[in-house]
C-alpha cells in the first residue's frame, strides 16, 4: 500500500469522543499524525460571562463529563478567589472527597475504555460495573450520576446523607479488592505486556516542552502533582504518595493510574474518618444574597441591590484526573464573571500526539490514545 | 438403524410423498412424477435443505451460546428477554437486519461488493455437506473429505479481500489486507497439524479418522498438534486474540465496515458458520467425533440419535473454550501475529508431524495403548 491519509474520526471507535485524528500511513506504519479538535466546542467560556457565578457550575459538569466534580472544584476555587470568599473547612473536605471519588470514577472509566481498545472484553464490563458503585455514591449525596451541580461558591449545596460514610467505606473495600483483579487481567497477560511495553514513549523533556501533564508526565518519571506541589483544598492535611513510573510508555501510564487509584482510596479513607468526627456547616455563613440565590426576588437583599462589591481576579489550578487544569476568573463587581478562562490538560496532551504516535503501527493508535485518556468535552469546552 | 443415513431418509421422504401425489394423476403424468431421476434430484434438494436448516439453526444457537457464555464471563446475563432465556433474540436480530436496506457506497465495485459476501457465505455453507456429524449423517463415501473441507475452508480470505477491496474504503482495505495475510500465515501450521492426525489415522476420510480413535482420542498423543490446530483455527475464525482484521478499536469494523443489512448478516452468519466448522473439526480430529470411550455405559450411547447428541455436546464445549479465550485475552498486533505464525507455529507443527511419525513407528504407547494399523 502506498502512503495515504486516513481520518480516524470524528466518528470512530478510537476517539472516545468527538475529534479527528488524521493519520498518514504507509501500510501499517504511521508516518505523520495531525490531531484536529473543535467538533465539540460549545463556547462554555463565553456563555459563562453571561451567567451568575453559581450558574456556571452547570456548565462545568459539561466540560468533562467523566470528571464533572473536579471541574466544578476548579471553577469554584477560582471564583472564590475572585470573590474573596472562604468556605468552611467541612466544605473543603467534602470537595476533596468529591475530587477523589471523581478520580476513582474517572480512572476506572479510563481503565474500561483502555482495555476495550486492546480488545479485552471482560475487564471493560468489570470496570463499568465498579464505576457504577461510585456513581451510586454520587447519586446518594448529589442527586445525579453525571451532572452533579453540587458545589457552590462558598461551600457545597448539601451535606452528606445519613450513613453515607459507611456505605462509601464498603465501596472502597470492594474496589480495593477489584484493583488486584484489574492488575491480574492486564499485567498478568503476556499479550498485554507485548502490546504495551515501550509503546507511545514520551520522555519527560518532551512532556514539559508540550505542556503535557498529569499521569502522562508522572509516567515519564517526573514527580509533579499539584496536590502535593501546590496543595489546594485540604490536600496538605492528607497522607498520600505521588504515583510515579519511569517507563514513559503505555504500561507506565497504566501503572501510574492504577497506583493513583490506590492512593485515592487511601485519601478517601482519611477524609471519611475526618468527616465522621467533624460535623459542621458546609456552606459559608455570610454570603451575599445574590450569590446564594441568583433569581431571588428583588428586595432589600436582592441581587439588584448589590453595591460596591470588591473587585478581584481569581486563579486556580487543580490536579484533575487527566492532568493539570487551570481556571482564571475576573470579577468586575457585577453578578456575572467578567471573564472566565480554562486550561484543559487533555488539549495539551492530545496536541503532542505527533511526538508519541509517529513510528508506531496503526494498531497501536487505540492503546496509545487510550493511555492518554481523552475527554473531548474539556478539550473543546 | 445403522445404515439409515440423512440422504436415505430424505430419499424415502421424497419417494413416499411423490408416489402419493402421483397416485391421483392419470398414467403419463404418474410415470413422469415417479421417474427415478426426478426422485433422486428432489432427494438431493431435500437433503440440501435439511443440511441448510440444521446448519443455520446450529449457527444461531451457537451465537446464543456465545452471548450467554460471554455474559457470564463478564458478570452479566446476556440475552434474556426474547424467548426463553433469550433463545429467540438472534432471530429478532436477524429479522431486523433482514428488514434493513443494503446501502452500496457510491464508488464501490458492485460485482465484488455483492459477490464477496455471497460467496463467502456459500463456501461456508458448503462445508456442512462434507462434515460427518454422526455415523448416519454423511451423504456418501468421499475418500478425501478432510482435504475437501480444508480446501473449501481456505477460500475465505480471497472473498473477504474481494469484498474489502471493492467496498472502496480505506479501513475495509486495511482489514482485507490483514485478513489475507493472517489467514495465509496460519493456513500452513493448521494444515501441518492436520497432517499429524492423518499420519496417525492413515486416512483423509473424516469418518475413518473418527473410527480410528476408538482406542484413544487423538488429543492425548497429538496434544501439540491440537494446540497448533486450535491456535490456527482461532486465527482462521478471526476471533480474539486474532481478530485484527476487524479490530473495531482502530479499523471501525475492518473489512465489513461498509456492509449493512442482509449483507452484513451474511458476514456475521458466515463467521459463525466457520466458527462452528472449526469446533466441529476439532471434535472430529481430536476428540473422537460422535463416539464415546468404551468404558462409558451403553445406556449413554444407545438412545436414538445418541451420536448427534454427543457430537453437539462436544462441539459446543469446544466452542465454549473459544469463547473463554475471547473473554479473557487482549488482541495481538499484526506484526506480532505474523511473527508468531511463521516463526513459532510452523516449527511447532512440524514437530507435531514428527511426533506423529514416531508414534506410528512405535505402534504402542505406554499410557494410550496401541495405534490401530494404518488404513483401518
Mean pLDDT by 10 residues, chain B (376 residues): 69 86 82 81 86 86 90 86 86 88 84 88 85 70 81 85 86 84 85 88 81 77 87 84 74 79 86 89 86 78 80 91 88 84 88 85 63 46
- Contact across the interface for A185 and B328, Cβ inside 8 Å: yes
Percent of chain B with pLDDT over 70: 93
- Dihedral (CA of B265, B266, B267, B272) sign: positive
* Residue of A4, A122, A124, A193 for testing the chain B interface, max B β-carbons within 10 Å: A122
Q: Which residues of A touch B251 (CB under 8 A)?
A: 362
Is A26 touching B (CB cutoff 8 A)?
no
Q: What is the pLDDT of residue B137?
A: 67
- Contact across the interface for B250 and A365, Cβ inside 8 Å: yes
Count of positions (residues) in chain A: 381
Query: Is B271 a member of any domain?
Result: yes
Query: Is B360 a member of any domain?
Result: yes
Instruction: Give the containing element (helix H, strand E) for B364.
Output: strand B364-365
Q: What is the pLDDT of residue A269?
A: 92
Beta strand pairing call for A323-331 and A155-156: unpaired
Number of domains into which chain B is organized? 1
Cα B239 to Cα A206: distance, rounded to the nearest angstrom: 38
Q: Which residues of B touch A126 (CB under 8 A)?
A: 74-75
**Chain centre distance of CA A128:** 17
How close B360 gets to chain A, by Cα (Å)? 36
| CA nearest to A245, candidates A197, A210, A288 | A197
Q: What is the pLDDT of residue A273?
A: 92
Query: Is B42 a member of any domain?
Result: no
Query: Is B311 a member of any domain?
Result: yes
Cα B149 to Cα B350: distance, rounded to the nearest angstrom: 21
Query: Is B35 a member of any domain?
Result: no
Cα B133 to Cα B284: distance, rounded to the nearest angstrom: 9
Query: Is B331 a member of any domain?
Result: yes
Cα A353 to Cα A358: distance, rounded to the nearest angstrom: 8
Is A298 touching B (CB cutoff 8 A)?
no
Whether residue A86 is predicted with pLDDT greater than 50 in this model: the reply is yes
A129-132 contact pairs (CB < 8 A, 24+)? A129/B75, A130/A174, A130/A175, A130/A178, A131/A105
Lowest mean pLDDT among A89-103, A177-191, B32-46: B32-46
Query: Is B375 a member of any domain?
Result: no
Query: Is B212 a member of any domain?
Result: yes
Q: What is the pLDDT of residue B134?
A: 75
Cis peptide before B241 (omega within 30 of 0): yes
- Contact across the interface for A364 and B73, Cβ inside 8 Å: no
Report residue A124 as a C-alpha cell: 471493560
Which phi and psi angles does A30 have, rounded to 5°? -90, 120
CATH fold for the domain made of A3-380: Cytochrome-c3 Hydrogenase; chain B (1.10.645)
Q: What is the pLDDT of residue B374?
A: 45
Cα A186 to Cα A194: distance, rounded to the nearest angstrom: 11
Burial of B93 (0-12, 13-18, 19+ CB in 10 A): middle
Alpha carbons within 13 angstroms on the beta-carbon side of residue B163 total: 27
Contact B330, A115 (CB under 8 A): yes
* Residue of B180, B330, B338 for testing the chain A interface, max A β-carbons within 10 Å: B330
Q: Which residues of A touch B331 (CB under 8 A)?
A: 118-119, 191, 195, 363
Q: Domain segments of chain A: what residues?
A: 3-380
Q: What is the pLDDT of residue A263?
A: 92
List, for residues A110-157, the tens digit of each pLDDT value: 999 898 888 888 888 899 999 999 999 999 998 888 888 888 888 888
Q: Which residues pair with A342 in a beta bridge?
A: A327
Q: What is the pLDDT of residue A297?
A: 45
| CA nearest to B275, candidates B309, B333, B325 | B325
Q: What is the pLDDT of residue A200?
A: 86
Range A338-365 average pLDDT: 89
Domain extent, residue B217, equals 100-370
Size of interface A-B (CB pairs under 8 A): 85
- Contact across the interface for A189 and B326, Cβ inside 8 Å: no
Cα A124 to Cα B327: distance, rounded to the nearest angstrom: 10
Whether residue A309 is predicted with pLDDT greater than 80 in this model: the reply is no
| CA nearest to A137, candidates A159, A167, A111 | A167
ipTM, two decimals = 0.79
How close B180 gets to chain A, by Cα (Å)? 14
pTM equals: 0.85
Backbone region of residue B83 per phi and psi (left: phi > 0; alpha: psi in -120 to 50; beta: other values): left
- Dihedral (CA of B174, B180, B185, B186) sign: positive
Q: What is the pLDDT of residue A284?
A: 76
Neighbours of A98 (CB within 10 A): 24
Q: What is the pLDDT of residue A282?
A: 81
List, for residues A270-300, the tens digit of each pLDDT value: 999 999 998 888 877 767 666 655 444 444 4
Percent of chain A with pLDDT over 70: 93
Place of cell 446450529: B58
Q: What is the pLDDT of residue A305?
A: 45
- Contact across the interface for A121 and B74, Cβ inside 8 Å: yes
Beta strand pairing call for A20-26 and A29-36: antiparallel
- Contact across the interface for A13 and B328, Cβ inside 8 Å: no
List, for residues A52-78, the tens digit of each pLDDT value: 888 888 888 888 888 889 999 999 999
- Contact across the interface for B249 and A6, Cβ inside 8 Å: no
**Which residue in the set A4, A117, A121 is minimally distant from B170, CB to CB?**
A4
Cα A74–Cα A182–Cα A355 angle in degrees, nearest 5: 60
Strands (E), chain A: 3-8, 20-26, 29-36, 151-152, 155-156, 312-320, 323-331, 339-343
Strands (E), B137-295: none
Q: For chain B, list residues whose CB is within 8 angstroms of any CB belonging to chain A.
A: 70, 73-76, 170-171, 173-174, 177, 240-241, 243-244, 247-252, 326-336
How close B72 gets to chain A, by Cα (Å)? 10
Cα A169 to Cα A160: distance, rounded to the nearest angstrom: 14
For A123, name the nearest residue in chain B, comparing CA atoms only.
B74
B48-53 contact pairs (CB < 8 A, 24+)? B48/B129, B50/B6, B50/B10, B51/B6, B51/B128, B51/B129, B52/B125, B52/B128
Q: How sure is the predictor about A102, in pLDDT bands with cuts at 50, 70 and 90?
A: very high
* Residue of A121, A200, A364 for testing the chain B interface, max B β-carbons within 10 Å: A121
Place of cell 488404513: B375
List, for residues A191-245, the tens digit of each pLDDT value: 888 888 888 888 888 888 998 998 989 998 888 888 888 888 889 888 888 888 8
Whether residue A356 is predicted with pLDDT greater than 70 in this model: the reply is yes
Amino acid at each position: 500500500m502506498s502512503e495515504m491519509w486516513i481520518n480516524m474520526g470524528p466518528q470512530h471507535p478510537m476517539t472516545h469522543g468527538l475529534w479527528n485524528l488524521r493519520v498518514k500511513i504507509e501500510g501499517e506504519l504511521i508516518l505523520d499524525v495531525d490531531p484536529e479538535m473543535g467538533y465539540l466546542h460549545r463556547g462554555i467560556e463565553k456563555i459563562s460571562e453571561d451567567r451568575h457565578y453559581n450558574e456556571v457550575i452547570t456548565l462545568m459538569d459539561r466540560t468533562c463529563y467523566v470528571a464533572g466534580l473536579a471541574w466544578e472544584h476548579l471553577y469554584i476555587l477560582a471564583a472564590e478567589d475572585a470573590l474573596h470568599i472562604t468556605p468552611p473547612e467541612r466544605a473543603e473536605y467534602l470537595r476533596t472527597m468529591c475530587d477523589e471519588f471523581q478520580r476513582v470514577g474517572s480512572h476506572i472509566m479510563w481503565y474500561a475504555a483502555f482495555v476495550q481498545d486492546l480488545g479485552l472484553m471482560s475487564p471493560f464490563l468489570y470496570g463499568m460495573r465498579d464505576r457504577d458503585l461510585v456513581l451510586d455514591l454520587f447519586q446518594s449525596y448529589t442527586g445525579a450520576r453525571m451532572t452533579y451541580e453540587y458545589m457552590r461558591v462558598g461551600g457545597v449545596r448539601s451535606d452528606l446523607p445519613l450513613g453515607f460514610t459507611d456505605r462509601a467505606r464498603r465501596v472502597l473495600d470492594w474496589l480495593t479488592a477489584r484493583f488486584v483483579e484489574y492488575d491480574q487481567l492486564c499485567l498478568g497477560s503476556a499479550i498485554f505486556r507485548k502490546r504495551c511495553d515501550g509503546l507511545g514513549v514520551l520522555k519527560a523533556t518532551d512532556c514539559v516542552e508540550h505542556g503535557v501533564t498529569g499521569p502522562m508526565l508522572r509516567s515519564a518519571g517526573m514527580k509533579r502533582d499539584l496536590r502535593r506541589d501546590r496543595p489546594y483544598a485540604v490536600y496538605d492535611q492528607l497522607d498520600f504518595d505521588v504515583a510515579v513510573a519511569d517507563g514513559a510508555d503505555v504500561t507506565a501510564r497504566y501503572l501510574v493510574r492504577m497506583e493513583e487509584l490506590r492512593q485515592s482510596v487511601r485519601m478517601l479513607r482519611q477524609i471519611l474518618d475526618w468527616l465522621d468526627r467533624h460535623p459542621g456547616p458546609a456552606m459559608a455563613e455570610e454570603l451575599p444574597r445574590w450569590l446564594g440565590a441568583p433569581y431571588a426576588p428583588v428586595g432589600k437583599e436582592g441581587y439588584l441591590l448589590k453595591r460596591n462589591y470588591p473587585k478581584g481576579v481569581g486563579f486556580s489550578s487543580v490536579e484533575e484526573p487527566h492532568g493539570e487544569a487551570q481556571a482564571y476568573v475576573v470579577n468586575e463587581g457585577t453578578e456575572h464573571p467578567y471573564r472566565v478562562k480554562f486550561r484543559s490538560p487533555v488539549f495539551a496532551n492530545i496536541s503532542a500526539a505527533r511526538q508519541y504516535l509517529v513510528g508506531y503501527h496503526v494498531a497501536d493508535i487505540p492503546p496509545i490514545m487510550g493511555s492518554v485518556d481523552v475527554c473531548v468535552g474539556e478539550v473543546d469546552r | 438403524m445403522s445404515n439409515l443415513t440423512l440422504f436415505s431418509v430424505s430419499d424415502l421422504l421424497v419417494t413416499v410423498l411423490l408416489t402419493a401425489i402421483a397416485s391421483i394423476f392419470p398414467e403419463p403424468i404418474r410415470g413422469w412424477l415417479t421417474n427415478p431421476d426426478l426422485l433422486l434430484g428432489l432427494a438431493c434438494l431435500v437433503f440440501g435443505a435439511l443440511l441448510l436448516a440444521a446448519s443455520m439453526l446450529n449457527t444461531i444457537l451457537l451465537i446464543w451460546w456465545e452471548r450467554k457464555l460471554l455474559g457470564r464471563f463478564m458478570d452479566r446475563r446476556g440475552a434474556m428477554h426474547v424467548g426463553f432465556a433469550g433463545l429467540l433474540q438472534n432471530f429478532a436480530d436477524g429479522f431486523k437486519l433482514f428488514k434493513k436496506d443494503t446501502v452500496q457506497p457510491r464508488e464501490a465495485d458492485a460485482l465484488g461488493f455483492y459477490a464477496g459476501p455471497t460467496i463467502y457465505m456459500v463456501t461456508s455453507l458448503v462445508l456442512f455437506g462434507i462434515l460427518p456429524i454422526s455415523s448416519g449423517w454423511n451423504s456418501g463415501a468421499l475418500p478425501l473429505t478432510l482435504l475437501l473441507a480444508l480446501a473449501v475452508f481456505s477460500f475465505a480470505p480471497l472473498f473477504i479481500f474481494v469484498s474489502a477491496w471493492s467496498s472502496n474504503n480505506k479501513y475495509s482495505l486495511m482489514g482485507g489486507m490483514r485478513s489475507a495475510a493472517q489467514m495465509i500465515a496460519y493456513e500452513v501450521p493448521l494444515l501441518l497439524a492436520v497432517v499429524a492426525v492423518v499420519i496417525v489415522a492413515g486416512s483423509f476420510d473424516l469418518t475413518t479418522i473418527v473410527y480410528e480413535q476408538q482406542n484413544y482420542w487423538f488429543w492425548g498423543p497429538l496434544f501439540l498438534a491440537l494446540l497448533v490446530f486450535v491456535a490456527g483455527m482461532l486465527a482462521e475464525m478471526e476471533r480474539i486474540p486474532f481478530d485484527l482484521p476487524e479490530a473495531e478499536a482502530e479499523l471501525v469494523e475492518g473489512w465489513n465496515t461498509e456492509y449493512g443489512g442482509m449483507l452484513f448478516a451474511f458476514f456475521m452468519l458466515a463467521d459463525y458458520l466457520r466458527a462452528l466448522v472449526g469446533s466441529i473439526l476439532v471434535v472430529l480430529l481430536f476428540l473422537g467425533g460422535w463416539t464415546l470411550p468404551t468404558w462409558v455405559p451403553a445406556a449413554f450411547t444407545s438412545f436414538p440419535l445418541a451420536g448427534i447428541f454427543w457430537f453437539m455436546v462436544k462441539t459446543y464445549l469446544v466452542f465454549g473454550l473459544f469463547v473463554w479465550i475471547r473473554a479473557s485475552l487482549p488482541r495481538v498486533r499484526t506484526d506480532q501475529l505474523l511473527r508468531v505464525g511463521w516463526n513459532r507455529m510452523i516449527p511447532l507443527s512440524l514437530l507435531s508431524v514428527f511426533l506423529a511419525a514416531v508414534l506410528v513407528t512405535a505402534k504402542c504407547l505406554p499410557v494410550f495403548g496401541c495405534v490401530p494399523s494404518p488404513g483401518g
